[in-house]
Amino acid sequence: MNFTNAQIDRIIEMAWEDRTPFEAISHQFQLKEQDIINLMRKEMKASSFKMWRKRVQGRKTKHLKLREFEKGRFKSSRQKQITHNHISKR
């Protein structure tokens, strides 16, 4: 696929983010994980690509199937509950 420079920058930005899974990038840009890796390899310096690959290899947050909290969005147990537009106290 042909992407604009802005789209390529956004794909790289999303791939660098620890909490953005490959599936989110795939959904938005219709790319498979291998296509994302190939794009990163092509667009980045070799040393930056190697550092990125080492960081994301097997990382749970980059793969939805590996996440322990698959349902819904992760929410810290320390986050306050919001009910009827009021923040409840613990």
pLDDT digits (tens, 9 = 90+) for 41-79: 999 999 999 998 888 886 666 666 655 554 555 555 655
What span, in angstroms and rounded, lies between the C-alpha atoms of 41 and 23? Answer: 18
What pTM does this model have? 0.65
In tens, the pLDDT along 10-38 reads: 999 999 887 788 888 888 999 998 999 99
DSSP string, 28-79: HH---HHHHHHHHHHHS-HHHHHHHHHHHTT-GGG-GGG-S--SS----TTS
Q: Which domain holds residue 17?
A: 5-68
77 lies in some domain:
no
Give pLDDT, residue 70. 47
Give pLDDT, residue 9. 93
20 lies in some domain:
yes
What span, in angstroms and rounded, lies between the C-alpha atoms of 17 and 36? Answer: 13
What span, in angstroms and rounded, lies between the C-alpha atoms of 26 and 62? Answer: 12
32 lies in some domain:
yes
